[in-house]
């Protein structure tokens, strides 16, 4: 039992990375802009967080810089797709290449630069006493994990219950109508692309300063940015489902790492311990699961007639016939 709790506890921490990136992309896509640059923004966030924390000794400053740098990078995508009306798919890919490249260049030598002071960890007094839930969700977590908990209901409330949230949805569903009502479509889209960048940067910082401290070049994120893009589709652009998906994937990632350790598993000889090469098949699981989860999401979308924000992926051009 203890082992399961330990894995789940670590899974929540690792899911927080995905949570930030997924919620960020959810905001961006809700405004009608598809940003496939999440991986690049996370990577540049992880790199800047780690290097600033090393240089200044202050992890908080690292988090701040990571968010700003990733947010800045996202504005390239915003400019290209919103102002220059270019293809959002290619621009997003370009952003991932760019973010990866810059991170590799500026992160040169960072992996051996030493250790940093990490963000503080703490246990929440009363909540941690609840059986099962307490030790998994409220014990010995980085402060960012708790920030993640707060982000979920706040995002839900913001998107569905506030006026700016309604404007956000309007801009993503029917920009021409939103424009006619006096909502500045262009400014809002720039803003939510920026929000997506901030949160992707926060996700990156969560990796390098809390969950898996350090800088391991491209392996720092290892495709988590892409998994986040997939999770947004699985979540059907809903923050609660996004959170469920993120934590599930986080737990899966931890399980894969931890299952190869013990010699015995549920009373049997652990096949993953005695066949270490099976680990390569375990490594495929998060990516295979992303595909499965997308299939589930797509089937559901067809059945329930749900779907992406109607204007997702199309530039808004004033005066042109809209949707």
Per CB under 8 A, does 107 bind other proteins? yes
Report the greatest alpha carbon distance in the chain: 68
Closest CA to 167 of 191, 185, 142: 185
Closest CA to 176 of 79, 313, 320, 28: 320
Binding mask 33-52 for other proteins (x = CB under 8 A): ---x---x------------
Closest CA to 51 of 95, 109, 100, 101: 109
Give the DSSP letter string of 124-173: -TTGGGSTTHHHHHSSSEEHHHHHHHHHHHHHHHHHHHSHHHHHHHHHHH
Per CB under 8 A, does 271 bind other proteins? no
Exposed, middle or buried, 214 (CB in 10 Å: 0-12/13-18/19+)?
middle
Shortest CB 127 distance to other proteins, Å: 35
Per CB under 8 A, does 104 bind other proteins? yes
Shortest CB 249 distance to other proteins, Å: 12
Per CB under 8 A, does 300 bind other proteins? no
Per CB under 8 A, does 233 bind other proteins? yes
Shortest CB 251 distance to other proteins, Å: 18
Per CB under 8 A, does 240 bind other proteins? no
Interface with other proteins by CB under 8 A: which residues?
A: 36, 40, 76, 79-80, 84-87, 89-91, 93-109, 217, 222-223, 226-227, 229-230, 233, 277, 280-281, 283-284, 287-288, 290-291, 294-295, 298-299, 301-302
């Amino acid at each position: 039992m203890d082992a399961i709790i330990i894995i789940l506890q670590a899974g929540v921490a690792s899911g927080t990375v995905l949570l930030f990136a997924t919620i960020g992309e959810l905001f961006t896509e809700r405004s009608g802009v598809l940003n496939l640059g999440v991986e690049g923004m996370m990577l540049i966030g992880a790199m800047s967080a780690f290097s600033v924390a090393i240089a200044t000794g202050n992890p908080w400053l690292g988090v701040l810089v990571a968010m700003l740098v990733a947010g800045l990078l996202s504005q390239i995508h915003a400019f290209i797709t919103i102002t220059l009306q270019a293809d959002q798919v290619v621009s997003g890919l370009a952003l991932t290449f760019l973010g990866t490249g810059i991170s590799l260049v500026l992160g040169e030598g960072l992996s051996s630069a030493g250790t940093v002071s990490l963000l503080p960890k703490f246990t929440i007094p009363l909540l941690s006493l609840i059986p099962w839930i307490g030790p998994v969700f409220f014990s010995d977590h980085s402060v960012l994990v708790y920030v993640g908990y707060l982000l979920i209901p706040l995002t839900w409330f913001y998107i569905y219950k506030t006026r700016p949230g309604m404007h956000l949805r309007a801009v993503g569903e029917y920009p021409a109508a939103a424009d006619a009502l006096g909502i500045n479509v262009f400014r809002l889209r720039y803003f939510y692309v920026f929000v997506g960048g901030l949160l992707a940067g926060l996700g990156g910082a969560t990796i390098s300063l809390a969950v898996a401290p350090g800088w391991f070049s491209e392996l720092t994120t290892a495709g988590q940015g892409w998994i986040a893009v997939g999770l947004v589709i699985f979540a059907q652009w809903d923050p609660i489902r996004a959170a469920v998906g993120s934590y599930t994937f986080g737990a899966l990632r931890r399980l894969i790492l931890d299952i190869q350790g013990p010699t015995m598993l549920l009373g049997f000889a652990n096949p993953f311990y005695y066949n270490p090469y099976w680990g390569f098949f375990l490594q495929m699981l998060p990516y295979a699961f992303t595909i499965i989860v997308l299939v589930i999401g797509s089937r559901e979308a067809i059945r329930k007639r749900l779907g992406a924000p109607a204007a997702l992926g199309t530039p808004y051009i004033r005066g042109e016939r809209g949707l």
